[in-house]
Amino acid sequence: MKFGSSIFLAALGFVNAVRGDAVPWERLSKNDSMLLILDLQVGLYQVARDWDPTLYRENILAHAELGKLFDLPVVMTTSAEQGPNGPLPKEILELYPDAPLIKRQGEVDAWDNAEFRAAIKATGKKQIIVAGITTDVCTAFLALSLRAEGYSVFANIEASGTYSHLVRDTANSRMQQAGVQLVSMFAIVCDLMRDWRSVPGAKEVLPYLDRYLPVYGYIARGHAAAIENGTVIPGEVGLV
């Protein structure tokens, strides 16, 4: 039994090594990427029970604003928006009045829609940043289809939502096994920016983070306040 267990563990390690090598490290580039706003609709928003609802609303708006921040091509799509799924939030529509908006009437996997496929191909980009509702259907189905077509897919895990943590975790595992990069909003921002001295850099990115990632934005606020108003007090001397 011990010998058999050793063989199993060795085989598992080999499989994991092959999987790791199968999807090499790839960095996001603002010159090679596009932003996909997938079924982040006001009706479907009610299904996203794996996030605090107030936080999740900010997450989907943060995802949408990435296109403005980094001047990325944007494609938007909805599923049966004339029904209970509803439209995209008006805040997103107002960001991109001229971006392609493909209103699918039946296709669950957006890649099955010819107009949507054409819009993606028209961007000429091979790296796709995506988030959608639900994680296990809208995001996962499309991410897997895009991987099959040879695209690099970066799934914003903070802006996709579904109805339970178990379903979310299972969907993320499924995507990851297919080579989808699971990334946070902060990771996307930092990878696209690359350097705080870039443009967009600190000047443009810090206000965005202050709005959507206050745990980091308030670091900048604290530093600015200390420079403008701060005085070193007893006990602080020697700490820096």
Show which residues are catalytic.
Answer: 138
Report d(CA 56, CA 87) in Å as an integer: 17
Strand order in the sheet with 181-183: 101-104, 74-79, 33-38, 127-132, 152-156, 181-183
What's the CA gap between 182 and 147, in Å, rounded? 13
Q: Is the peptide bond before 170 cis (omega within 30 degrees of 0)?
A: no
Q: How far apart are CA 183 and CA 105, in angstroms?
A: 30
Residue 46 bridge partners (DSSP): none
Nearest in space to 38 (alpha carbons), one of 98, 85, 94, 97: 85
User: Distance between CA 131 and CA 146 in Å, rounded?
Assistant: 13
